[in-house]
Structure 1
Amino acid sequence: MTDRRFELICEIEPPTRPDLTRVRHQIGVLSPIADSFLIPDNHIGRATVSSVAVAHEVQAMGARSVACLNSRDRNLLGFRRDLLTAAAYGVERFLFVHGDKPAAGGRTSELTVRAMIEEARSAAADPAFAGCGPFQAGVTSGLRPVPRWKEAADFVLVQVSYSLDSLLRRRDRVSLNVPVHAGVMVPASAGMARDLAARIPDIDIPESLVVDVERDRDAGVAAACEQILARRDSGAFDGVHLVPVSRYRQVAALLEREL
């Protein structure tokens, strides 16, 4: 990690209906603690309002945005359309991902995250984007050996983990010259925690935490806040990617006292 300022990127829940009221509420509640807001794209395989449009709304409220775009739901022409729309809205920071398995149907094309990075980079020399700032491209990683093409990204968001020791061991094995943000998710319920442990390799959710959350939902909020502070104090990361889910009010209230 360099001497860059520690950045807290808060992920918000995107709307599945044409109503941005809840988005605006999340931004308002989390703004005192968040440096940037990440807007997912067709979250968990469900259709949502465009992440680029929501990113524009975030910026209209005076906050910084990161628009997530997945390769699953678009071909190259569709991706170029999204970049043009983003340029028109002044949205310049992206997270490019493969995309979760869709609820129904399959992938629409052969577009890859690597191709998205290359296309975003080539926009700088494209007359169609003249006068627009360069796009910033982020990627995700499990902090296993990182493919060389991912080193071309501007920042990396690391998989959620509940074990700082395990995360630090993996961090020591990976050399990256761009900001690295560790993932922290609030376990909103015991069922959610068990589901995450079953679906995500190396997430390292201790059973004691699952039991605590089963007894008291606020235990998950407290645990997530402790994880954020521990990652900051470790000096090994440039920031945290926080997924507060439905507990964003409680997280904001607690972190505002701690940060």
Structure 2
Amino acid sequence: MFELICEVEPPTRPDLKKVRHQIGVMSPIADGFLIPDNHIGRATVSSVAVANEVQLMGARGIACLNSRDRNLLGFRRDLLTAAAYGVERFLFVHGDDPAEGARTSQLTVRRMIEQTRETTYPGCDPFQVGAATRLSKVPTWKAEADFLYVQVSYDLDELLRWRESVELDIPVYAGVMVLASAQMATTSPSCPSSRSRPS
């Protein structure tokens, strides 16, 4: 089975027009949309709120949440908000260093997964949670997630060797960077990425 998950750019202003356009353009080919959470250390509209927008437009939303910005109470608020919106899928990450302020350092990705497994709401389906991995040994607690996202790599052979070296019974999505031009390929700007899962 092969799935294409497209990462969209959440807005840094209170305007959802651009992200709705991204979703509308990519919906015919994407199986779902991953929404980053205050990526590259900048404040953006909540990934849970954007995942809700994705679902209102008839697609599947995956809200990314980072441990960097959250204490336990804030994380429980995010889960409650997601349940109210019907957002059921999460990717938990450590998070880039913030441009302003500091990390809370109270939660880890592992603790976020454990907390989510312990959290249920009447009438709501259980949450599905994923984590990110490099091309290295996968800790047992990550292998017990519902899915894994592999960080972007640039060597297909290395990726395939890694995949053959790990025993995982969960979906694994390979990170693929989309280059819009030859100029982008020779520089290193920040740009959205797509992620696909090899069979």
**TM class, shorter-chain normalised?**
over 0.9
**Unmatched tracts of structure 1, length 5 or more:** 197-223, 239-259
2:52 pairs with 1:60:
no
2:179 pairs with 1:183:
no
SS of the residue 1:156 aligns to? strand
How far did residue 157 of structure 1 move?
A: 0.4
- Match for 2:13 among 10, 17, 28? 17
Counterpart in the other structure of 2:38: 42
The code of the aligned residue for 2:100 comes to A
Identity of aligned pairs, percent? 70
How far did residue 135 of structure 1 move?
A: 0.2
The code of the aligned residue for 1:185 comes to M
Structure 2 distance, partners of 1:106, 1:14, is 21
The code of the aligned residue for 2:123 comes to G
- Match for 1:72 among 59, 62, 68? 68
- Match for 2:111 among 115, 120, 123? 115
Structure 2 distance, partners of 1:118, 1:130, is 19
Structure 2 distance, partners of 1:75, 1:187, is 36
Work out the number of aligned pairs and report it.
194
The structure number with the bigger radius of gyration is 1
Counterpart in the other structure of 1:86: 82
Counterpart in the other structure of 1:51: 47
Higher helix share: 1
Structure 2 distance, partners of 1:21, 1:75, is 31
TM-score for both structures, normalised by structure 1: 0.71
TM-score for both structures, normalised by structure 2: 0.92
Counterpart in the other structure of 2:126: 134
How far did residue 169 of structure 1 move?
A: 1.0
RMSD in angstroms over aligned alpha carbons?
1.9
Query: Could you report, residue by residue, the CA deviation over 1:70-125 in whole angstroms, capped at 9, with x for unpaired residues?
Result: 0000101100000000000000000000001111221023200000000110013x
2:148 pairs with 1:156:
yes
The code of the aligned residue for 1:52 comes to V
SS of the residue 2:6 aligns to? strand
